[in-house]
Amino acid sequence: MDIIHDPPRLLSSLLGLTTLSSIAFFISSCVTAGTANAGFTTFITSLMYLGFCLGGLYTITRTQTSISVGFLIGVSLMLCIQSFQTAVFWGQLSHCDVKFGGVEIGKDVINAYSCTNPSAYRSVCAFATINFLFLLTFTATLIKGKDEIINDPNSYDDVGAPTGSAGFQGAYDQPQPSTADL
């Protein structure tokens, strides 16, 4: 249970699990890539998952600056939202009907709609849900443990208080130069 108290190890482990789930999501997205109006976006989402896993691992292990960790927090939060949307969309689409009024959909009924492989749609939904849960945990852990991860010599702790008794107001108390010389 020491891994729970060690944010860098926990984040690396969560990224490993997310990578495994993302590979399975990639395979499912290749199967559903031919779905009308939605297949390509799932394929792009799978590439975003894999890119995030590689970038996140690089950030956690190599570039632990405040800007890169902050960027990783933002990307993980947005990808978490994308995972939720993907899971909901493909979960709803997995209940599609192959036929409408006795005619196979896509032939003469609704051309911009397809329901070719509902089981693949369910797998995309399942892996998007798993990625959502992993990314939600990753994001919460990253936000909570960011101070232990950031290894930046320049931080906000190095910024001191203003000097002088007037503080910031002293600069504004001086008279402004006259602009009447124009």
Q: How many domains does the chain have?
A: 1
Whether 156 is covered by a domain: the verdict is: no
Tell me how far apart the alpha carbons of residues 174 and 100 are, in angstroms, rounded to a whole number. Answer: 79
**CA torsion angle 47 52 57 58 (round to 10):** 90
Tell me how far apart the alpha carbons of residues 75 and 69 are, in angstroms, rounded to a whole number. Answer: 10
Determine the structural domain holding residue 39 and report its residue range: 2-149
pLDDT in tens, 117-169: 889 999 999 999 999 999 999 999 999 988 888 887 766 566 666 565 555 55
pLDDT in tens, 96-109: 776 666 666 555 55
Q: What is the pLDDT of residue 99?
A: 64
Whether 117 is covered by a domain: the verdict is: yes
Alpha helices in 32-65 (DSSP H): 39-61
